């Protein structure tokens, strides 16, 4: 019954609300209620046959009433009908021309300036100018790395006028807790970019809409039915799902083949719903994801060395019947294995990773990785230092870094970008250093004068 409100928007669903879940689960549409036997539908679901029969009768009556109302509204004059057709045709031609012009200036019908920026120049450059509308982008990382802090800043920057933002509202769908409005206000009042704007141009908390879902059933209902309506009503340009793995981990604790197939099907359905709303509304969709530990550190680090050593051994050793073919087959199998390939799409295990970094895997596996367009990995790293007096270890300040793993509009990040979380949100360290240098030069301009540093032994000429 996923289409009953689309076919009959005024239909009273309250008397039959207890039937819709089973009907939707068994893919029973309005056309089935009209053409099929109510007893057969009740057997398939299963549901009380009397309730299904009453539902079928009411649906047919509503359809008949809707048809009669439509017939009364048809204009009697043939001239008015032809005029409406001409206006519709001209409107369609104009729409196609506009679409063609937009497509000629950017991919997927987006203009080149259609980007959602983080307001950090270094991070925005790594993202190819910002997040692209019409795509699903995943922000993945372990706990306390700053995933929610990252998206909180985007809830405000999306309200800025282009090219810094999209000039639209934001929708925040939480699966783990309520929106931290106190922290959101802190970012709004602390960010220097917002302080430069007039009150009418500054982002507003009123344009950040939020809802909470704590089960997969509620999540599907919100994303399938309520979200598209809210996007149109509030002119939403950013949709955040924080986080995508919480409900799946809570409700899919069984790892039998049947349970994994069911979870994969639900993940594909979730990706389809998010893609549909992203494309139709030209909105940026960002989901946060959790990680799990990967216990193949040694093998992942030494795979490239083993492959090189094996290839050199094959070329230098004398040809032995059957041994060379077996070695080549083994080499091909290792390069095509998931252990070797996952470094290219998970964000962990690449050649730029340090020895202090523990390997992780994004949650929800390869099925979910095929649903997203881009992935940004946030990493947390801490080095340990021992005191000279004994075997005492103390963690140094934790280092946070981000990297673009893959995206269709920009290349992967070669060197991870270090950042920290401040009162104004996520700030790259290089951006912070430039801001501090500019502030120091503004406060003490005499420091830039060479005469200030001159001494008796130093000739200015």
d(CA 68, CA 98): 37
Neighbours of 439 (CB within 10 A): 11
Rounded Cα gap, residues 227 and 248, in angstroms: 20
pLDDT greater than 80 at residue 358:
no
Beta-bridge partners for 422: 425
Domain boundaries, the chain: 4-74
Reply yes or no on whether the pLDDT at 459 is more than 50: no
- d(Cα 447, Cα 4) in Å, to the nearest integer? 72
Q: Where are the alpha helices (DSSP H) in 282-408?
A: 297-316, 323-335, 338-341, 365-369
How far does CA 256 lie from the centroid of its chain? Answer: 28
Higher pLDDT, 7 or 234: 234
List the single range of 82-96, 183-197, 339-353 with lowest mean pLDDT. 82-96
pLDDT 10s digits, 436-447? 556 656 666 766
Give the model's pLDDT for residue 18.
Answer: 87
| Cα–chain center distance at 429 | 24
Residues 6+ apart with CB under 8 A from 333: none
Supply the mean pLDDT for the chain.
Answer: 79
Percent of the residues in the chain that have a pLDDT greater than 90, as a whole number = 40
Q: Give the model's pLDDT for residue 222.
A: 93
Which residues on adjacent β-strands are paired with residue 456?
A: none
Q: How confident is the model at residue 334 (pLDDT cuts 50, 70, 90)?
A: low
| Helices within 106-143 (DSSP H only) | 121-126
Q: Which of 149-153, 218-222, 392-396 has the lowest mean pLDDT?
A: 392-396
pLDDT interval class at 105 (50, 70, 90): very low
pLDDT value for 165: 93
pLDDT recorded at residue 97: 42
Could you give the CA distance from residue 215 to residue 250 in angstroms, rounded to a whole number? Answer: 8
The residue-averaged pLDDT of 280-291 equals 95
Higher pLDDT, residue 2 or 377: 377
pTM of this prediction? 0.65
281-291 mean pLDDT: 95
At residue 29, the pLDDT reads 86
């Amino acid at each position: 019954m996923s289409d009953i409100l689309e076919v009959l928007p005024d239909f009273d669903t309250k008397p039959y609300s207890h039937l819709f879940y089973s009907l939707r689960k068994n893919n029973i549409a309005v056309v089935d209620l009209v053409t099929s036997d109510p007893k057969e539908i009740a057997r398939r679901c299963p549901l009380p046959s009397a309730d299904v029969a009453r539902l079928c009768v009411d649906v047919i009556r509503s359809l008949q009433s809707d048809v009669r109302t439509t017939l009364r509204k048809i204009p009697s004059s043939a001239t008015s009908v032809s005029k409406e057709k001409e206006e519709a045709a001209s409107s369609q031609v104009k729409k196609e021309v506009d679409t063609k012009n937009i497509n000629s200036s950017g991919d997927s019908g987006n203009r080149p300036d259609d980007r959602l920026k983080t307001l950090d120049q270094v991070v925005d450059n790594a993202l190819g100018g910002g997040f692209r509308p019409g795509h699903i982008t995943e922000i993945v990382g372990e706990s306390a790395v700053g995933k929610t802090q990252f998206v909180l800043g985007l809830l405000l920057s999306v309200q800025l006028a282009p090219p810094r933002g999209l000039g639209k509202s934001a929708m925040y769908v939480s699966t783990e807790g309520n929106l931290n409005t106190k922290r959101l206000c802190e970012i709004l009042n602390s960010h220097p970019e917002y302080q430069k704007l007039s009150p009418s141009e500054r982002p507003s908390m009123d344009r950040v809409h939020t809802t909470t879902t704590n089960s997969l059933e509620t999540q599907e209902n919100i994303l399938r039915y309520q979200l598209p309506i809210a996007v149109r009503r509030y002119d939403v340009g950013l949709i955040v799902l924080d986080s995508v793995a919480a409900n799946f981990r809570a409700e899919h604790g069984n790892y039998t083949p049947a349970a994994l197939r069911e979870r994969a099907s639900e993940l594909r359905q979730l990706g389809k719903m998010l893609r549909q709303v992203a494309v139709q509304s030209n909105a940026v969709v960002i989901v946060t994801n959790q990680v799990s530990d990967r216990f193949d550190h040694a093998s992942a680090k030494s795979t490239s060395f083993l492959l090189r050593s094996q290839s050199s051994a094959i070329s230098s050793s004398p040809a032995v019947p059957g041994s060379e073919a077996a070695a080549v087959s083994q080499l091909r199998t290792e390069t095509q294995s998931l252990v070797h390939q996952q470094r290219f799409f998970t964000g962990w295990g690449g050649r730029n990773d340090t020895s202090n970094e523990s390997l992780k895997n994004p949650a929800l596996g390869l099925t979910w990785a095929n649903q997203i367009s881009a992935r940004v990995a946030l990493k947390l790293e801490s080095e340990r230092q021992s005191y000279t007096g004994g075997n005492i270890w103390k963690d140094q300040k934790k280092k946070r870094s981000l990297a673009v793993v893959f995206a269709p509009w920009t290349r992967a990040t070669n060197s991870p970008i270090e950042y920290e979380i401040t009162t104004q949100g996520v700030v790259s360290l290089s951006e912070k250093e430039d801001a501090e240098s500019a502030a120091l030069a503004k406060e003490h301009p005499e420091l830039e004068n060479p005469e200030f540093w001159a001494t008796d032994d130093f000739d200015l000429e």
